[in-house]
Structure 1
C-alpha cells in the first residue's frame, strides 16, 4: 500500500467543526456559574432598588449566558458546518421575535378591545 493511499484513510476531526476540550468546558462551566450567581445575588441582596433596572441587568446577564452556552457547549461559530448552524440560529431567532411580537400585539389588542364596558355606557364609540 502506498503512502498516498494510507494518508487518505485517515480522517481529521477538524472537518466536522470544533470539538470541545476539557479546558473549554471548564471555562464555560465557570462562566455559567458566575453568570447565574450574580443575578441571584442581585435579587436576594436587593442590590438594585429600581425593579426596571434590575430586570434589564438580569436579562442582559441572561443573554450573555446564552452566548456562553452557544460558544462553549454547542461550539457554534460562523465557521462551524460551513456557516449553516449560524444561519439556522439567525432564522430561529427571527421566527421567535416574530412570534413573540405578534403574540404580545394580539394580547394587547384583545385586552383593549374586549374590556367590559363601564356601567351606564351604552356604546363603545366615543
Structure 2
C-alpha cells in the first residue's frame, strides 16, 4: 500500500493536458513575437534586442513551470533549490572566466 501512495503523489506532480496546452500556446506566442520583430524590423535594433532577451527569459520561466513543473510547492522545493544552485554555479563560472579573460587582455595590451 505504501508503494501505491507514493505512486499517487508522484502522479500529482505531473501536469494535465490543460497545463501542457497552456505551456505550449505560451511558448508559441513567446517565440512568434520576437521572430516577427526580427523578420519585420519596425523598432530600433537595441529595443528589438531587449524585447527578444526579455521574451527569452519569460520563455525559460514558462518551460520551468509548465513542462518541468518547478513551482513553490513543498514537493518541488529541493528541485528548485538544485536548479538555482546550478544556475548560480554557471553564472559564477562564466562571469569569473570572462572577468579573468578581460583582465588578462587589459594587462597584455598595457605592456
Q: TM-score range by the shorter chain?
A: 0.7 to 0.9
Alpha-carbon contact 2:15-2:69 (below 8 Å) kept: yes
* Alignment correspondent of 2:30: 35
Aligned length, in residue pairs: 110
* Alignment correspondent of 2:80: 86
Q: How does 1:105-116 map to 2 (within 5 A)?
A: 105-115=99-109
Alpha-carbon contact 2:70-2:76 (below 8 Å) kept: no
Whose helix fraction is larger, Structure 1's or Structure 2's? 2
Structure 2: any 5+ residue segments left out of the alignment?
none
Give secondary structure in 2 for the equivalent of 1:47: coil
| Deviation at residue 57 of structure 1 after TM alignment | 1.3
The higher radius of gyration belongs to 1
How far apart, in 2, do the equivalents of 1:63 and 1:26 lie?
A: 20
Using structure 1 for the length normalisation, give the TM-score. 0.75
Q: Please tell me the root mean square deviation across aligned C-alpha atoms, in Å.
A: 2.2
| Deviation at residue 12 of structure 1 after TM alignment | 6.0
Alpha-carbon contact 2:20-2:66 (below 8 Å) kept: yes
How far apart, in 2, do the equivalents of 1:114 and 1:80 lie?
A: 51
| Deviation at residue 40 of structure 1 after TM alignment | 0.7
Q: Does 1:24 align with 2:19?
A: yes
CA pair 12-45 structure 1, distance change in 2 beyond 3 A: same
CA pair 55-80 structure 1, distance change in 2 beyond 3 A: farther
Alpha-carbon contact 1:35-1:61 (below 8 Å) kept: yes
CA pair 40-18 structure 1, distance change in 2 beyond 3 A: same
Q: 1:98 aligns with which of 92, 102, 108?
A: 92
CA pair 66-80 structure 1, distance change in 2 beyond 3 A: farther
